[in-house]
Structures are given as structure tokens and as C-alpha cells.
Structure 1
Amino acid sequence: MLTFLSAVGSLLSFRVRSRASLELELVALRHQLTVLRRQHPGRPRLFSADRMLWVWLYRIWPRVLDAVVLVEPATVVNWHRKGFRLYWRRRSRPLGRPGTNRDVRDLIRQMSRANPLWGAPRIHGELLKLGIVVSQATVGRHLPWQPKVPSPTWRSFLQNHMHDTAAVDMFVVVTATFQLLYALVVLGHERRKVIHFDITPNPTHAWLARQITEAFPWDTAPRFLLRDRDASYGQTFRDRVRAMAIEEVVTAPRSPRQNAVVERIIGSIRRECLDHVIILDERHLRRVLSANFEYHHQSRTHLSLGKDCPEPRSVQPPSAGTVVAFPQVGGLHHRYERRAA
């Protein structure tokens, strides 16, 4: 009896396996017909889904290779092996530390570009002060590549030398009686502030040398003094400047742009003041320039100073009161302040 039952069970299992094999063979054949029906000239185009299907069929029923005619059986076997390698490569990938946040990476690169003299230890210290905890090795790994010793930008180079640089220049003013007056302006580059000015009808070497002494008493002399090639700056002037340990920087012939800051101030003096006034004499010119320079230092906003004045001007909130206008430079300009009612 047991032998009969085992024989019947074997027969049923054979019929089930035969039924499953037939279904799998039909799936393989129908899929190959679908691939052949695709509109593609030349060889049939296979997608990743096609390869995955045949690899799956080969894994559960290896005899499917007998029904595959579009590719060689060895090709399906190679696909299966590649899939096996990819599977275990993904399962065996090293865990390690979590990756660095993209915002942190961008901040590291931003700090490195803005501060070319900083290395990984300096940037790592700044990140710790910002509450960003990463290792110094991580910072060094994300630093941008620099082929040579970095150079500071021209803007930073000039800003570092502004407080040690002054410029001097003269301009001519015609009075109501057609007399020529020469106005000397000594300008500091750091805050665009007129350090000294004076007026004379005859700018001699000795007079110019005395003006430099009055402009920089004691130990306030700058390191560099920019000037043009005017013949008025004679040997006496040069000896006085050298005695004060000031290095002269003389511009090229007919190159006012090389002394652009003081030229810009003189242009502003003419456009905003002298072009609207008839100068009577030397005393009148001195009074007008004094009022204009007071407005220039305390009230006039400058683009190069971030819309501030050479003498910093505080911001008044709307709660300080109503806006009141105060005329300056004889009414040519006004200063606006808030005053409580």
C-alpha cells in the first residue's frame, strides 16, 4: 500500500513540475516575441528589465536556456553572475562614518575661497565656533584644490594699505576779478577725509613743503604719498617729504586715473560747489571750501564707504521724531535729521 501511494505521489509531482515548466517556457517564448516586435532596426534592443526576467527564469528553472533563442545561453549565465556580484557588493559595502552634510561642504569651500591664506586647522576652528562638529581630516578632504600659494585680492590689498596712504593735488579757481587761486588738498584714503587744505596765489616749493608739515604734525605722517608730476613739487618739497619718512609715489605723465581718489574729490568740489558760486577773493574761497568740507565729512554719504560719511553718521529710527532739513554750504545742500516734536 505504501509503495502504491508513493508511486501516485511521484506521478502527481511530475505532472505539477511538468505543468510549471510548460508555463515558464511559454513566458520565455512570449517575451522573446515581444522583444522581436519592437520597432528597432538591426539587432533586437534589450533593456535591463529583459535581462532581469531571463535571469529570474534561469534561477528558478535552469532549463529555460533551451527556450531562449535571441541570446546565447552563456550570455544569460553571465548576466546572472553579474547580478550576483552586484548584489553582494551592495550587501558588503563598508559602512564607515556618515557623509558630510552638503551645507557644511559648501561652507568649507566658501571659507577657503574667501580666506585663501587659511588651511584646514583654521577653518576647522571656525566651524567649531559655529557649532559644526566635524573632524579636521574631513575639512581637509573638502578643501578646493589650490595649485600655488594663494594671493590676496586687489580689494583686500588696497584696503590693507588705505590707512597708510594719502594723496595731494592742486586745482585752480578763478575769482570774480579773474585772479587765479591755487587750492591744495591733502586727502586720506582710509575714509576719504580731507586732512588739510590751503589756498595761495603763488604755490612755491617752500609753501608746498610747509603744507605737508602742517597736514601731518608729529608722528601722523603716512607711509605713502601720491602726487602727480607738477613742477611745483620741487626739491624743497621732496626733501621735506623724505625727512618725514614718507615715500612718494609719482604718477605717470598725463595719467590722472593713477591718483583717482583725490581727482574724484576735486571733481565733486567743482560740480557740487564751485560751479554754482562766484568766488570773490581768497578769503571767500577759504570760507566756501571750509563749509563744503564740513558737509563732505559730516553729512554727505559716499558710495565707497557703504553710503556712510567720512565721520560715521548714526542711523535715526522713525521713532526719533519727524524729519527736519538743515541747509549747508549756503543752501546748496541739506542735512536731514529726525528731531522730536
Structure 2
Amino acid sequence: MMIGLFCFALAVLASPFRSKLRLEAENAVLRHQLIVLRRRRRGRVRLTNLDRWFFVQLYRRFPAILKVLTIIRPETLVRWHRAGFRCYWRWKSRPRGGRPPVETELRTLIRQMSVENPLWGAPRIHGELLKLGFEVAQSSVAKYMVKRRVPPSQGWRTFLHNHAPDVAAMDLFVVPTVSFDLLYAFVIVRLDRRDLVWINVTAHPTAEWVARQITEAFPWSEAPRYMIRDRDCIYGAVVTRRLRAMGIRDKPVAPASPWQNGFVERLIGSIRRECVDHIIVLGEMNLRRVLKSYADYYNGIRTHRSLNKDAPVSRPVQRTGVISSRAILGGLHHHYARV
């Protein structure tokens, strides 16, 4: 009781130093709190939205009214004020006509086009969208495109895909016979469709023989522009002159770097794993016949993961007919087709 009287005395002494408007605001808050308490029947005090609005408006102009609030906590009033501020600016920022919002599906499509085609600008993507039936402004396309900090450029996958048709690779590998003699198989593969262009066998490889194989593998109008090879001494001056005469640029890999000629190395690995490791070679003619049969299977039937499960010579999709099986290499592999 004494503490309450002491606080009242201090308030009376400090009242001359307060502004008249502030005192009126505090009196209005006190009177309104009394009205709310008289309105209460039982239980907690129930405040209406009008009551909240009244307290918030006074708090905006006279923050000192927090000292005379008793039926609500000061942090509650501050929370109401912030909520009202958010509602006001949400109302202030409401759409007032103009362009309709761009749909999420269209924004995703714009971003996809921008990522997949780094050389395309907003006009190019806008033209494609118009052809797809989307009515959108070019400025909206520019807004939702991927922002790049460096000039647009193609990726390595695109670069290699565009140059692969002009590149071929060649190599030799050894196959033992039943009498433990060594035969040499020569292969040439194109990097574009992984097709096995040429395969032949000899017991005595020479530079002249390799040069003749290159000539027979490529007619003059079908020669690649680049030929990748290792630094085997078998590729002598005769081979390099033949390549130059056919308009093919010789590209030897670095010493002891077979990974730089990975396409033909993978091909040789497939030939070993899927063919010669499972047969006993009787002689040169026998190996040539076996490799020729495998080359036909490899080019026209065998599916490749790098070609989206297609063969180098694309196989049509068969949806009707009875499935039949044909043995290849004596049953080492099979070809399934509909007839």
C-alpha cells in the first residue's frame, strides 16, 4: 500500500513536466481499460479488434502509454503493432492490375531453356516460347533467365559431341593362337557413333600394312579429319605420309598415356571380354572370321550405354511380331528380333 502511494506521489510531482497531449493519451488508455474490464463478465479479458486498433494507434503516437497498461502486456501491444504494420504494407503492395503473374511452369521452362542453351538470349528464348503458344513479354523472359557472370559458352559435352564425327582412333592388340603364336588385330573406330570402321588381322604387322588398312577403311570422301593413335613404332613415316595424303591430321597421344585414346581402348576391352577371351584361336583366317562376325554384331546389334541403348548402326524399335532368337559366334551372343 505504501509503495502504491509513493508511486502516485511521484506521478503527481512529475505531472507538470509532461505534455498535455501525453497526459490525455494516458488518461484515454486508463479509461478504455476500465471500459474493457466493465465489459468482462467472467474469465479472461476479451479484446475486440477495435480495442486493439485503439491501443495501437495511441502507441504509435505516444509510446509512453506502455507504462500505464495493466490488462495487457507491453510486448503484446508491440506484437499487435508489428502485425498491423505487415497488414498495412501487404495492402499497400497489393496488385493493382498490370501484367498477370508468370506461372511456375513457364518460369521453370524459361530457366531450363536458358541453362540448356547458354548462347541464347532473351529474344531467342522469347521466340521459342511464342512458337510453343506461351503469351509472355520478352522482359519477363529476361527476368527469369539464369544470370551468368561470365560470357556464355558451350560445355565440354557439347564441344566433344560437335567434333566427334571428324575424329577416329586406331590401335593394335595381340591375340595368342592355339600353338602360342601371336596374331595382331588392327582396329579403327569413329568417335561419333562408336562404330567399328575397320578390323583386320596379320601375323607380321608393318608400317606399309597399317597404311594399306587405313586406305581400305576410308574411301576418299569419308576420311575423318583427325586420327588419334599411340606412339607405337609401327606407325612409321609411311603411315604419317598416307594420313597426310588423305587429308587426315595425325594426332599421337602423349607417351605412356593410353587414357588419352580411351575410345579405342574401351573397344579393345570389349572385344577381349565379349569375344577372344572365350575362344581358342586356331589361326589367322579363323581369327579374321571371328572378328568379322563380332564386328557385324558390334555395329548392328549390340546396344551401347553411350548411345542411349542404341547400336552404332541405329536399330529400329520393333513393337509387333513374334520374338525370335538368333545365335551369334556359336551362341556366345544372341540377337533378338520380332518376325
Q: How far apart are the structure 2 equivalents of 1:87 and 1:149?
A: 39
Q: How far apart are the structure 1 equivalents of 2:94 and 2:303?
A: 66
3-state secondary structure, aligned to 2:224: coil
Q: How far apart are the structure 2 equivalents of 1:239 and 1:49?
A: 97
3-state secondary structure, aligned to 1:100: coil
Report Cα offsets for 1:199-230 as digits up to 9, x if no partner.
Answer: 11221111111111111111211111110111
What aligned pairs does 1:179-194 form with structure 2 within 5 A after superposition?
A: 179-194=181-196
Q: How far apart are the structure 2 equivalents of 1:245 and 1:67?
A: 91
The answer for unaligned runs of 5 or more in structure 2 is 1-27, 40-48
- Structure 2 vs 1, CA of residues 85 and 107 (structure 1 numbering), >3 Å: closer, same or farther? closer
Structure 2 equivalent of residue 298 of structure 1: 300
Structure 1 equivalent of residue 317 of structure 2: 315
Q: How far apart are the structure 2 equivalents of 1:201 and 1:141?
A: 67
Structure 2 equivalent of residue 325 of structure 1: 325
Report Cα offsets for 1:246-303 as digits up to 9, x if no partner.
Answer: 1122112222111111111111111111111111111111111111111111221111
- Structure 2 vs 1, CA of residues 294 and 87 (structure 1 numbering), >3 Å: closer, same or farther? closer
> 1:174, 1:181 within 8 Å by CA — same for their partners in 2?
yes
> 2:59, 2:66 within 8 Å by CA — same for their partners in 1?
no
TM-score, normalised via structure 2 length: 0.77
Instruction: Output the amino acid matched with 2:312.
Output: P
Runs (4 or more) in structure 1 with deviation over 2 Å come to 20-25, 27-31, 48-53, 55-59, 65-68, 82-89, 91-96
Structure 2 equivalent of residue 55 of structure 1: 56
3-state secondary structure, aligned to 2:68: coil
Structure 2 equivalent of residue 114 of structure 1: 116
What aligned pairs does 1:90-105 form with structure 2 within 5 A after superposition?
A: 90=92, 95-105=97-107
Q: How far apart are the structure 2 equivalents of 1:285 and 1:125?
A: 57
Q: How far apart are the structure 1 equivalents of 2:67 and 2:230?
A: 91
Aligned length: 295
Structure 2 equivalent of residue 26 of structure 1: 34
> 1:162, 1:189 within 8 Å by CA — same for their partners in 2?
yes
Instruction: Output the amino acid matched with 1:117.
Output: L
3-state secondary structure, aligned to 2:174: strand
3-state secondary structure, aligned to 1:187: strand
3-state secondary structure, aligned to 1:126: helix
Q: How far apart are the structure 2 equivalents of 1:222 and 1:334?
A: 32
What aligned pairs does 1:170-319 form with structure 2 within 5 A after superposition?
A: 170-317=172-319, 319=320
Structure 2 equivalent of residue 69 of structure 1: 68
CA offset at residue 88 of structure 1? 10
Report Cα offsets for 1:31-63 as digits up to 9, x if no partner.
Answer: 9xxxxxxxxxxxxxxxx999645036789xx99
- Structure 2 vs 1, CA of residues 106 and 49 (structure 1 numbering), >3 Å: closer, same or farther? farther
Report Cα offsets for 1:220-241 as digits up to 9, x if no partner.
Answer: 1111111011110011111111
Instruction: Output the amino acid matched with 2:338.
Output: R
- Structure 2 vs 1, CA of residues 315 and 91 (structure 1 numbering), >3 Å: closer, same or farther? closer
> Percent of aligned positions with the same letter in both sequences?
48
